[in-house]
Amino acid sequence: MSLNLLGRTIDKVGVIGSGNIGPDIALHFATTLAPFGVQVVVVDVAEAALQAGEAKLTQKVGKLVSKGRWKAERGEAVTGAVTFTSDYGALKGAGLVVEAASENLAIKKKIYDKVERIIATDAVLASNTSHLEPEVIFGSLREPGRALVAHYFFPAERNPVVELAVSPLTTEETTHFMEVLYEQTGKIPVRLGSRYGFAVNPVFEGMFLAAALLVEEGVADPIQVDAVACKTLGYGVGPFTAMNLCGGNPLTAGALPEYGARLMPWFRCPAILQRAADEGEVWPMAKRGVTVDVPTEVEQKVSQALQGAFFGLVTEAVDGDVIDLGSMELAVSTALAVRPPFAAMNKLGVGRVLELVRAYAEDHDGFRVPALLESQAASGEPWKIPVLVRRDEGDVAVITLRRPAALNALNTAVFDQLEEHLLAVQQDQGMVGAVVTGFGTRAFAAGADIKELVRIEDTAGLSAKSRRGQRVFSLAENLGKPVVAAMNGLAFGGGLELAMACTVRIATVGQKVFVGQPEPKLGVIPGYGGTQRLPRIVGLEAAWPLLRNGDPISSARALEIGLISREVPGPDVVPEAVALCRDLATGKAKAKPMETGPIPVPDSLPEVDLGHLSLKIDEIQQKVILDGARTSLAEGLELEATAFGTCGETKDFDIGMKNFIEKGPQTPASFVHK
Dist CA 626 CA 460 (whole Å): 23
Do 429 and 549 lie in a common domain? yes
- Give domain status of residue 519, yes or no: yes
Domain at 161, CATH number: 3.40.50.720
Do 138 and 25 lie in a common domain? yes
Do 216 and 82 lie in a common domain? no
Do 539 and 623 lie in a common domain? yes
- Give domain status of residue 316, yes or no: yes
Dist CA 557 CA 569 (whole Å): 17
Examine the fold and report which residue of 322, 346, 379 is the final residue of a domain before the chain moves on: 379
Do 238 and 276 lie in a common domain? yes
By residue range, what is the domain housing residue 216? 201-379
Do 457 and 592 lie in a common domain? yes
- Give domain status of residue 401, yes or no: yes
Inform me whether the pLDDT recorded for 1 exceeds 80: no
pLDDT at 239: 96
Model confidence over 117-149: pLDDT tens digits? 999 999 999 999 999 999 999 999 999 999 999
Dist CA 343 CA 324 (whole Å): 15
∠ CA 553-557-558, rounded to 5°: 80
pLDDT at 308: 98
Examine the fold and report which residue of 324, 351, 379 is the final residue of a domain before the chain moves on: 379
Do 40 and 64 lie in a common domain? yes
pLDDT at 357: 98
- pLDDT top residue among 571 and 474: 474
pLDDT at 232: 96
Dist CA 377 CA 65 (whole Å): 51
Do 149 and 272 lie in a common domain? no
Model confidence over 205-254: pLDDT tens digits? 999 999 999 999 999 999 999 999 999 999 999 999 999 999 999 999 99
Question: In a 3-state reduction of DSSP, which class is residue 21?
Answer: coil
Do 28 and 7 lie in a common domain? yes
Task: Check if the beta carbon of residue 310 is closer than 8 Å to that of residue 304.
Answer: no
Model confidence over 249-276: pLDDT tens digits? 999 999 999 999 999 999 999 999 999 9
pLDDT at 454: 86
Task: Check if the beta carbon of residue 343 is closer than 8 Å to that of residue 329.
Answer: yes
Catalytic residues: 497, 519
Domain at 276, CATH number: 1.10.1040.50
Task: Check if the beta carbon of residue 153 is closer than 8 Å to that of residue 203.
Answer: no
Percent of the chain with pLDDT over 70: 100
Q: pTM for this one?
A: 0.94
pLDDT at 451: 86
- Give domain status of residue 215, yes or no: yes
Domain count, the chain: 3
- Give domain status of residue 671, yes or no: no
- Give domain status of residue 100, yes or no: yes
Residue 306: CB atoms within 10 Å: 25
Examine the fold and report which residue of 144, 163, 192 is the final residue of a domain before the chain moves on: 192
Domain at 559, CATH number: 3.90.226.10
Percent of the chain with pLDDT over 90: 95
